[in-house]
Structure 1
Amino acid sequence: MIAGPATEWDGADPIVSVDGVSFRYGDRPVLEDVSLDVEPGAFLGLVGPNGSGKSTLLELVLGLERPDSGSVTLFGDRAHEFDEGERIGYVAQDATETARDMPVTVREVVAMGRYPHRLVGRFSRADRRAIDEAMERVGIADLASRRIGRLSGGQRQRVFIARALASEADLLVLDEPTVGVDAESREAFYRLLGDLNASGLTIVLIEHDIGVVTTYATEIACLNRRLYFDGDPSEFVATDALADAYGTDQHVVHHDH
């Protein structure tokens, strides 16, 4: 069980702190004694083979699951008790596919990010400005009136990023966000994430393209039930952690900015 009292986050401590976490689904161990921190302004790339526990770790960070042992804190609170959801922008693995059938416009989706801030009634001038600025920042202002289902996968991902920005999120969490997105759009999407991170947004990303992660992330965590590496991307490339975690010879292909 999680031990210890929740603490108040003062902006200097890690945004996310995972301490000695283990988790099982029934009799199947998924995570074993995993510890890592996500500092403010970091861009953490979480890599590992399929079934390695990456998505489960995100669920624990988001408070959707509770660890069997160890603790997870989010902005200083126990993750499962954290109730300021507007501070987190979450883009799920199947978000773009689910969005195909949403009968709403781009602006309406981005506006959802303002719901936690909105008072009863209409959006305020500040709400409308935040929505406009978020769309402009990710380059989709010209798509505001388009139905989201008519956009490309890369464009839909930008809509979800804009929704997080409109909510004034402090942490952006993405689970394989470019599945089904063409290579050119993927590169543009990750350049956008790099720019957002450079402006101060903290990002946690699950991505199978290790070359992308080592190019854009400021920190790599390599996971396969236990943590094989947590640190600088350049150091990760020079270690055996990748081969050890995947159980095979792996090569990193770098992407040009």
Structure 2
Amino acid sequence: MTTTTTDRKRSTSPIISAGDVTFGYSDVSVLESVSVDVEPGAFLGLVGPNGSGKSTLLELMLGLRRLDDGTVSLFGQPAHEFDDGERIGYVAQDVTKAARDMPVTVREVVEMGRYPRRLFGRFSTEDRRAVSEAMERVGITDLASRRVGRLSGGQRQRVFVARALASEADLLALDEPTVSVDAESREEFYGLLHDLNATGLTVVLVEHDIGVVTTYATEVACLNRQLYFHGNPEEFVETDALARAYGTDQHVLHHDH
């Protein structure tokens, strides 16, 4: 049975709550007092120029880095202590590029999403069902026996999203997943994210294409070390936050869907 909005775990608390987050590498400041909450069912797009701290903020939100100051909670727990990994589907930057050298099939990659839920190292009927449904939802069932390295960039994207869906995650986090992917595949991919979010799946996306974010996301957070805007995409395009964050005159190109 396909997961729907009503199937997902309900919560009145933010899935992620970042308060006054400060972080730096040695003497280089990356984030300065950034506060962002991600509510259940949101589709948050993190935008900003190169080196603005977008990817670092996402990693702090997921507990992959320890912050210098401030607080980050993930599903109500300190992010760096959170260990319920099956609730999070994370597609890291360049993971699809690295997958070109993986000697595994599409099904085997998607099955990795079930590893945290397996009992005694064996795949159950429920595991197999979840894997098959995840592949069906992203449209890669016909690729199940293909080697991942022989797929196009757009197809590999879908494989790693399917891996996250197979884990029945409540949060899907993606760090610039469409780098080096053709325009048509990118539009299809973001349409897929939009549809998954419509089922209640919470999505956090780091993306350099501001037009994609303002078209598909329900919220935008614009930053460059500090936070310049967090709110509705329609309000974002009417503010000067983009110009202030980039330090230049920027225009948003909307995508039709």
- The alpha carbon displacement at 1:51 in A equals 0.4
- How far apart are 1:180 and its partner, in Å? 0.6
Q: Residue 94 of structure 1 aligns with which residue?
A: 94
Runs (5+) with no aligned partner, structure 1:
1-8
Q: Find the aligned partners of 2:121 and 2:154 in 1 and give their Cα distance.
A: 33
Output the CA distance in 2 between the equivalents of 1:104 and 1:253. 38
Name the CA distance, whole Å, in 2 between partners of 1:211 and 1:58: 20
Q: Which residue of 2 aligns with 1:68?
A: 68
Q: TM-score, normalised by structure 1?
A: 0.96
1:41 corresponds in structure 2 to 41
Residues 1:249 and 2:249 are matched in the alignment: yes
Equivalent residues in 2 for 1:225-240, closer than 5 Å: 225-240=225-240
2:130 maps to which residue? 130
2:139 partner amino acid: G
| 2:196 counterpart letter in structure 1 | L
CA distance in 2, matches of 1:224, 1:154: 29
Shift >3 Å, 4+ stretches: none
Q: 1-side partners of 2:237 and 2:209: how far apart?
A: 13
Task: Specify the code of the residue in structure 1 equivalent to 2:155.
Answer: Q
Q: Which moved more, 1:23-32 or 1:214-223?
A: 23-32
Query: 1: CA distance between counterparts of 2:200 and 2:113?
Result: 19
SS of equivalent to 1:100 = helix
What is the root-mean-square deviation of aligned Cα atoms in Å?
A: 1.0
Contiguous gaps of at least 5 residues in structure 2 = 1-8
Residue 194 of structure 2 is matched in structure 1 by: 194
Distance apart, 1:11 and its partner CA: 1.6
Aligned to 1:22: 22
In 2 relative to 1, CA 214–103 (structure 1 residues): closer, same or farther, beyond 3 Å? same
SS at match of 2:101: coil
What's the offset of the Cα at 1:10?
7.4
Residues of 1 paired with 2:132 and 2:64: CA distance?
Answer: 31
2:245 aligned partner, one-letter code: A
Partner of 2:56: 56
CA deviation after TM superposition for structure 1 residue 121, in Å: 3.7
Name the counterpart of 1:166. 166
**How big is each residue's C-alpha offset from its partner over 1:61-118, in whole Å with a ceiling of 9 and x where there is no partner?**
1111111111000000000000011110011111111000000000000000001111
Q: Deviations over 1:165-203 (max 9, x none)?
A: 000000000000000100000000000000000010000
**Residue number in structure 2 paired with 1:83:** 83
Write out per-residue CA displacement over residues 20-68 of structure 1, whole angstroms, 9 at most, x where no aligned residue.
1111111111100000100000000000000000111011111111111
Q: Which moved more, 1:116-125 or 1:46-55?
A: 116-125
- CA-to-partner distance for each residue in 1:131-175, whole Å, 9 max, x for gaps? 000000000000000000000000000000000000000000000
Q: Equivalents in 2 of 1:232, 1:197: separation in Å?
A: 16
Percent of aligned positions that are identical: 78
The residue type paired with residue 128 of structure 2 is R
The offset of 1:122, in angstroms, is 2.4
Structure 1 counterpart of 2:107:
107
Q: What letter corresponds to residue 144 of structure 1 in structure 2?
A: A
Q: What is the aligned partner in structure 2 of residue 217 from structure 1?
A: 217
Q: TM-score, normalised by structure 2?
A: 0.96
Equivalence for 1:6: none
Distance 2:81 2:173 in 1: 18
| Distance in structure 1 (CA, Å) of the matches to 2:179 and 2:238 | 27
Cα distance between partner residues in 1 of 2:241 and 2:42: 21
